Amino acid sequence: MILAAISNSDAQAVGAVVAAIWGVTIAYVWILASKLRRLEQALVAAQAALDRAQSTDPA
């Protein structure tokens, strides 16, 4: 009954809006999360490199 009252173009428009919002949100979260992971790894690597440099520094 409810479905019959919904026109095809209306449902497509609402679907497109929901898909756009969820698509952008998921993509953004994924990009941010992978960037954070990469930065955390880079921070650990940089800290280790600094420790090595300081331990081999004769001064």
Partner 1 sequence: MLAAGALLVISTLLIALWVPGDRAEGYRQRIFYLHVPIALTSYLFLLVGAFYAARHLLRRDPMDDLRSYVAIHQGVILGTLVLITGPIWARVSWGIWWDWSDKQLNTFLLVFLFYCAYFMLRYAVEEGARRERFSSIYALLGIGMVPLSLGAVHLAGTIHHPTVFHRDGPAMEHSMFFAFLVSWAAFILLASALWRLELRGKLLAQGVQRLQRRIRGEAVLP
Largest CA distance in the chain: 82
- Least distance (Å) between residue 17 CB and partner 1: 5
How far, in Å, CA of 51 to CA of 48, rounded?
5
For residue 59, give the amino acid letter: A
Taking residues 29 to 58 in sequence order and writing x for each that binds partner 1 by CB under 8 A, - otherwise, the string is x--xx-xx--xx-xx--xx-xx--x-----
What token pair was written down for 3?
Answer: 């479905």
Taking residues 1 to 30 in sequence order and writing x for each that binds partner 1 by CB under 8 A, - otherwise, the string is ----xxx-xxxxxx-xxx-xxx-xx--xx-
- Least distance (Å) between residue 58 CB and partner 1: 14
